[in-house]
Amino acid sequence: MSTDSLYQELVRLRETLENHNYNYYVLDNPSIPDAEYDRMFRRLQEIEQQQPEWQSAQSPSQRVGALARGHLPEVAHEVPMLSLDNAFNEDELTAFQQRVQERTGVTGDLQWCAEPKLDGLAVSLLYEQGQLVRGATRGDGYQGEDITANVKTIRAIPLSLRANEQGEFPERLEVRGEVFISLASFERMNEKALAQGSKLFANPRNAAAGSLRQLDSRITAERSLDFYAYAMGEVTPARQLDNDSHYARLEQLRAWGFPVSRETKRLTTNQACITYYRDLLARRDALPYEIDGVVFKLDAIALQEQLGFVARAPRWAVAQKFPAQEQLTWLRGVDFQVGRTGAITPVARLEPVEVGGVVVSNATLHNADEIERLGVRIGDRVTIRRAGDVIPQVVGVVVDERPANSSAVEFPSRCPVCDSAVERVAGEAVSRCTGGLFCGAQRKEAIKHFASRKALDVDGLGDKLVEMLVDRDWVQHPADLFKLNALQLASLPRMGQKSAENLVNALARSRKTTLARFLYSLGIREVGEATAQNLANYFGSLDALMAASEEQLQEVDDVGVIVAAHVHNFFREPHNQEVINMLTQGERAVYWPEVAPANAASLDLAGHTYVLTGTLEQMTRDEAKEQLQARGAKVAGSVSGKTTGVFAGANAGSKLTRAEQLGVPIYTEAELIKLLES
């Protein structure tokens, strides 16, 4: 290949890779599969290695990071990076709005720009002649740290500006925004840390901060940080800002290539701010990233300039905070819970404390390593975090307030339920009870799982009831459930004749199931509902699955070496074979309709991804999901450019809007039923 055409290929690769980032992060519309991105990326690296003189500070290859020596140098901000005043309730917001009305002399309603208050780190990005030349942290507002190499690894941050419609961008532009980590990435990071027995990050903010302020930007590159722009600093020449509203400036930033939160809205009345706050608070847990409030900014730049600043915050903006997700309380004791797989989890017993509107009296301490790392002792003052639907956790200890009579947390060496030995596999962070189904705790959890909604779905068999049945030794194995009779059940406390009969009927009904549900109900390690469905689709029958080798198992979608080994070992274990025999043979056996093993005809929806949203009338979303999956389709939780279609029931919300924005086909429930019946 001639040097000329190699150079052209390099230019094309750089452009395509950055375009892809723009499509992905700014337009939310991925244009090529990740694997293709990776391929082009490697090709770019290859060319640059071959021709080192073509290396450029703006090349997407810089996004892998590099090791810096020494420390992060200081940067002075040309325009100080200020902070925001807070409002802690609706009255404080109204008072703020009134002050703004008075100061501006505007009598009618004011126009506001409402934005989520992202919980990450403020950064400043400087572009000269359209090229990213510097990234800095906020620091004390006047001086920050130079994190140029680190911000370049964040794919949401453009390395060069896109020209606007007039083909222009400013000679010098400073963009401000928040670097943050999505909840999914945060959880992945901590799951990995938990499994490796390394330090957990207390919250997404700390994870983002710890990842960004790294001397070795290769570490930053691995952390999948994200970015939203929310303001401009210096813009030269200023004529490129032919708009007089903050909202319009954010749109301008989007056009130059910066992602701006889709939740950003222009509001035309003061009252609308309250509605916006309530709406976002209600949706807080459903957002893919953590926010700690909303920010209202006066939309008219002229009015912003008129009001100016007081101390270190603008008079024209306010952050209305959400209830905190972290609180301090006292650790009264630690109990050890035994899970379905024998995993022993230390559970903190706390002085009850309200966190984000819910009273918390228990929180997880994860495992022995985490107790050691936190250095926590019984009696300590501890920080509790409760966010979204994740169980509350102890994330910190206030060592200064440790009482004199504090005591160490002793991790048990024998199971607190069955007294079997506790074992810790080398290289794993979890400790497990070795009692298996001999252990009452494991048996209870196994049976709860067996009867749960996504497994055999036994109506009316709640956790408390399972515990009673196991404690009385009426149920040792799942198959024992089907031997229960109404007379016996009616003798239990708080169980009438009628409910006993209902339960017996529900048990009988649950015996008719599907192969996928049955597999899931067995509680094989790492086999969730989706994997169970894939296994059922692929093998068609239990016998074929039980006979499969590890290699054959690995042929199945989403089944790797580890899952294949778990499945294989499970079916080799004589005790498990016995349980399966008890369940599938005899008069009260579990049964399911035969399905043909996977072939092109039976899995006609393979390769399609659907999203279900809103309320369906003829079936539940879970039922629809199950039927779609049985036909080979994937059912995703969020809409993206890769979504085949969205089925929208009544009162569909943001997912429907998203689909409209992305031009993803939208179908009605009637169309869903037609598809499922076809």
* Residues annotated catalytic, as ranges: 117
Sorted by sequence, the CB contacts under 8 Å of residue 204 that are 6+ apart come out as 119, 120, 180, 181, 182, 183, 186, 289, 290
Q: Find the binder of ligand IVH among 18, 115, 380, 626 (CB under 6 A).
A: 115
Sorted by sequence, the CB contacts under 8 Å of residue 72 that are 6+ apart come out as 145, 146, 147, 213, 215
CB nearer ligand IVH, residue 296 or residue 538: 296
Alpha-carbon distance of 355 to 392, in angstroms, equals 9
In this structure, the number of other CB atoms found within 10 A of the CB of residue 230 comes to: 23
- Nearest distance, CB of residue 245 and ligand IVH, angstroms: 15
Closest residue to ligand IVH, judged by C-beta, is 122
What Cα–Cα distance (Å) separates residue 63 from each residue in 21, 48, 198, 481?
12, 14, 26, 57
What Cα–Cα distance (Å) separates residue 250 from each residue in 121, 246, 299, 605, 612?
19, 6, 11, 40, 31
CB nearer ligand IVH, residue 231 or residue 417: 231
Please compute, for residue 75, the number of CA atoms within 13 A of its CA located in the half-sphere on the CB side: 23
- Nearest distance, CB of residue 317 and ligand IVH, angstroms: 6
Q: Find the binder of ligand IVH among 27, 82, 219, 619 (CB under 6 A).
A: 82
- Nearest distance, CB of residue 284 and ligand IVH, angstroms: 14
- Nearest distance, CB of residue 81 and ligand IVH, angstroms: 7
- 102 by Cβ neighbours in 10 Å (0-12 / 13-18 / 19+) ranks as exposed
Work out whether 118 is an interface residue with ligand IVH (CB under 6 A): yes
Q: Find the binder of ligand IVH among 147, 319, 611, 652 (CB under 6 A).
A: 319
Q: Find the binder of ligand IVH among 10, 87, 100, 122 (CB under 6 A).
A: 122
Q: What DSSP assignment string belongs to 3-15?
A: HHHHHHHHHHHHH
Here the tokens at position 90 are 């609706």
- Interface region with ligand IVH, contact rule CB under 6 A, candidates 53-61, 117-125, 397-405, 590-598: 117-125
- Interface region with ligand IVH, contact rule CB under 6 A, candidates 116-124, 496-504, 555-563, 591-599: 116-124
CB nearer ligand IVH, residue 104 or residue 442: 104
- Interface region with ligand IVH, contact rule CB under 6 A, candidates 158-166, 313-321, 480-488, 538-546: 313-321
Please compute, for residue 299, the number of CA atoms within 13 A of its CA located in the half-sphere on the CB side: 21
Q: Find the binder of ligand IVH among 145, 178, 299, 380 (CB under 6 A).
A: 178
- Interface region with ligand IVH, contact rule CB under 6 A, candidates 82-90, 419-427, 462-470, 554-562: 82-90
- Nearest distance, CB of residue 319 and ligand IVH, angstroms: 5
Q: Find the binder of ligand IVH among 20, 117, 205, 444 (CB under 6 A).
A: 117
Q: Which of these, 209, 253, 212, lies nearest to 230 by C-alpha position? A: 253
Write out the binding residues for ligand IVH, residues 128-147 only, by CB under 6 A: 138
Q: What are phi and psi of 238, to 5 degrees?
A: -65, -20
CB nearer ligand IVH, residue 44 or residue 298: 298
Strand duo 313-314 + 309-310: pairing: antiparallel
Q: Find the binder of ligand IVH among 317, 430, 500, 635 (CB under 6 A).
A: 317
Work out whether 231 is an interface residue with ligand IVH (CB under 6 A): yes
Here the tokens at position 431 are 């400790």
Q: Find the binder of ligand IVH among 314, 323, 379, 436 (CB under 6 A).
A: 314
Q: Find the binder of ligand IVH among 295, 384, 479, 535 (CB under 6 A).
A: 295
CB nearer ligand IVH, residue 83 or residue 554: 83
Q: Find the binder of ligand IVH among 96, 201, 227, 230 (CB under 6 A).
A: 230
- Nearest distance, CB of residue 137 and ligand IVH, angstroms: 10
Sorted by sequence, the CB contacts under 8 Å of residue 79 that are 6+ apart come out as 174, 233, 234
Alpha-carbon distance of 230 to 260, in angstroms, equals 7
Alpha-carbon distance of 621 to 618, in angstroms, equals 10
Q: In one letter, which amino acid is 644?
A: T
- Interface region with ligand IVH, contact rule CB under 6 A, candidates 80-88, 151-159, 344-352, 392-400: 80-88
Segments of 95-196 assigned E as strands: 112-118, 121-128, 131-137, 143-145, 172-181
Alpha-carbon distance of 351 to 366, in angstroms, equals 19
Q: Give me the helices (H) in 22-133, please.
A: 34-50, 90-104
Work out whether 83 is an interface residue with ligand IVH (CB under 6 A): yes
Q: Find the binder of ligand IVH among 13, 17, 84, 429 (CB under 6 A).
A: 84
- Nearest distance, CB of residue 558 and ligand IVH, angstroms: 37
Interface residues with ligand IVH (CB under 6 A)? 82-84, 115, 117-118, 122, 138, 178, 230-231, 295, 314, 317, 319
